[in-house]
Amino acid sequence: MNTHLRNTIVAALVALAPVTALSQSYPAKPIEMVIHTNPGGGQDVFGRLFTEISAREKLLPQPFSIANRTGGSGAVASTFIKSKRGDPYYLLSTSTTIVMALAIRPDLGLGLDIYTPLALYGFDLQSVTVPIDSKFKTFKELVDAAKREPNTLITGIASATGTARLLLYQLEKVAGIQLKHVSFKSGSDAMVAVMGNHVHLTTENVSEVLGAVEAKKLRILAVPAQQRLPGLPDVPTLRELGYNIHVGGGRGFSMPAGVPKEAAAVMEAALARAHKSPLWKEYSSKNMYEDTYMGSAEFSQYLTKTMPMITEFMDAVTKTQ
């Protein structure tokens, strides 16, 4: 073997050595799960669920610690993730709505390029929900009333820029109606307002209203899902009613940008295995999630593809505030 060829082979082996060592040793210490909501919030429960699955099924050789880095509608957590660029020992419990809403604000510097998206588990879908004694028994009746009397039906929502408001925006645009909205401190507060007939409807998450629906205090008229939810077989989708609308909070996981590819691959594999676990399937079914798994590449493409729609929505609603 000539000297040049030998040196080339040695150099290649040296270059591969750190890669092999990293993939075998990662993770070598506990990983911090970063969550932008307070303990007990939907994104918090979701993030903690993965850490529980990982521990039960021994998906990774190291445990997770939980850090609820709240504030700024997710900006505090995302700013922290940005500061950890290249560090694979941080995992963000990712709300797609939050990261895209932050990304369109140039003043924050929190674009999609600060993340390494790893996996999307599914969508916590919105709903069109009315009191059980509402005069509106179908979604068509509600739309017809909104067309007859624009700006008379009042919707209770948790945030003027959240996914419930996004569904309102899409409904107004596609159905050609105008609805008023009132913002409450939380989705549960909006739900209580609907039950008390203080507002006509809410577009908060299915998981938020489900308990009251089961208690026969609320009725879901339609869901913005790809297909009917198995747990709500009698509730039509907006798409089958003629409105091409799909709205829900996507829940997934991301690492900081610039992490070693080998570490990202290890974590993505663990996330894929956790998604197949009975514990996730039980949680997803109980909360009426639209269970739609996306790996790293597909998740990244989804965020990029959806950004223009979110930008249009945010521009429209912030101009009217």
187-207, pLDDT tens digit by residue?
A: 888 989 999 999 999 999 998
Mean pLDDT of 217-222: 98
Written as one letter, the residue type at 279 is L
How far the first Cα of the chain sits from its last, in Å, is 74
- For range 203-225, the mean pLDDT: 94
Q: What's the CATH fold of domain 7-123+248-319?
A: D-Maltodextrin-Binding Protein; domain 2 (3.40.190)
- Mean pLDDT, the chain, rounded, equals 91
Domains 7-123+248-319 and 127-222 agree in fold:
yes
Residue 113 and residue 46: Cα distance in Å, rounded? 23
Distance CA 45, CA 298 (A): 24
The full DSSP string for 61-100 is SS-EEEEE---GGGHHHHHHHHHTTT-TTEEEEEEHHHHH
pLDDT at 161: 81
pLDDT at site 85: 98
pLDDT score at 187 = 83
What's the topology of domain 127-222? D-Maltodextrin-Binding Protein; domain 2 (3.40.190)
The Cα 32–Cα 11 span in angstroms is 35
Residue 276 pLDDT level (bands cut at 50, 70, 90): very high
Backbone CA torsion sign across 236, 237, 243, 247: positive
Q: Give me the torsion for CA of 264, 270, 273, 278, rounded to 10°.
A: -140
The pTM (predicted TM-score) of the whole model is: 0.82
DSSP annotation string for 184-244: -SSHHHHHHHHHTTSSSEE--BHHHHHHHHHTTSEEEEEB--SS--TT-TTSPBTTTTT--
Task: Tell me the pLDDT band of 228, cut-offs 50, 70 and 90.
Answer: very high
What pLDDT, in 10s, does the model give residues 59-104?
999 999 999 999 888 999 999 999 999 999 999 999 998 899 999 9
d(CA 190, CA 160): 12
Domain map of the chain by residue range?
A: 7-123+248-319, 127-222
- CB crowding 242-260: b at 16 or more within 10 Å, else e: ebebbbbbbbbbbbbbebb
Q: Give me the helix-helix angle, 187-195 and 206-214, nearest 10°.
A: 40
Give every CB contact of residue 109 below 8 A, 6+ residues apart in sequence. 82
Task: Give tens-digit pLDDT for 51-63.
Answer: 999 999 999 999 9
The pLDDT-based confidence of 158 (bands split at 50, 70, 90) is confident
pLDDT at residue 185, as a whole number:
82
Whether 143 shows a pLDDT value over 50: the answer reads: yes
DSSP state of 52: H
Higher pLDDT, 249 or 297: 297
Residue 103's pLDDT is 94
Under the banding of pLDDT at 50, 70 and 90, the label for residue 317 is confident
Q: How many helices (H) and strands (E) does the chain have?
A: 11, 11
Q: Tell me the per-residue pLDDT of 6-39, one tens digit each, with 9 for 90 and over.
A: 555 555 555 554 444 555 689 999 999 999 988 8
Rounded distance, CA 169 to CA 143, Å? 14
Is the peptide bond between 27 and the residue preceding it cis, with omega within 30 degrees of 0? yes
Look at residue 2 in the predicted model and tell me its pLDDT: 55
